[in-house]
Amino acid sequence: MKTKNFRRSYRYIVKHLAFIGVSLLLVVATGTDVEARRRRIRLETAATLTRETPTDGGFLRPNNRKYHVRVSLGAGVNLKSHTDQFTLQEEFGAYLTTISKHLGAGAYLSQSLGGGDFAFSFGGKVWYDFQPWENLGFYITPSYTMGMSIYDKGSVVVGWHNLLAVEARLTLANRGFVYVQPVGFEFLLGSKALLSQGSAVRYQMLVGGGVSF
């Protein structure tokens, strides 16, 4: 009788110990799985925020858009054989490669008024961006412009111009930008009906802004 009771008690104890052991294993496994899921969710959230939130430069982060349009206002100051004129300029441009967004090209229209003359100009432009700081959308950009100018001097007179310039540009939220062109030298060629010596030189300064897309 005692042996039967002992065996029964032994089986009872073993059964409950097994139940407790399995329960503990389930709790540990479940807790580990929950913690793993939480860790995975945290990593995925951090990765999403990293992709969507700019961490380099913030509002002034570098530009990564290919195209732009912009409008400029400025003046051309006579240095040789020309007149001083106010200038309004519209430009469309694009970077030539998506791998290295430094070299670009575009086209422009320009209207100039002063000294009794009105000029309508159009042509092409190439430029190269130098970026002093990797995480800041600030660029120093030399450019070369070449085009044709049509003057109204009582009769229509055509001339040619070339412009060497340097500008400083600041990107705003990877969408807009502002710039100033403090250095620009314009070389003009034309007949004596347009230019008394057949050529002229002007200093040009522009300020403006635009949108990238």
Domain 59-212: give its CATH code.
2.40.160.20
HEC profile of 76-126: EEEEECCCCEEEEEEEEEEECCCCCCCEEEEEEEEEEEECCEEEEEEEEEE
- pLDDT score, position 168: 98
- pLDDT score, position 81: 73
As to burial, measured by CB atoms within 10 angstroms (0-12 exposed, 13-18 middle, 19+ buried), residue 34 is exposed
Q: Where are the domains of the chain?
A: 1-53, 59-212
Q: What is the mean pLDDT of the chain?
A: 82
The 10s digit of each residue's pLDDT in 74-96 is: 999 989 877 889 999 999 999 99
- pLDDT score, position 52: 45
Average pLDDT over residues 15-21: 62
| Residue owning tokens 């159009």 | 122
As to burial, measured by CB atoms within 10 angstroms (0-12 exposed, 13-18 middle, 19+ buried), residue 208 is buried
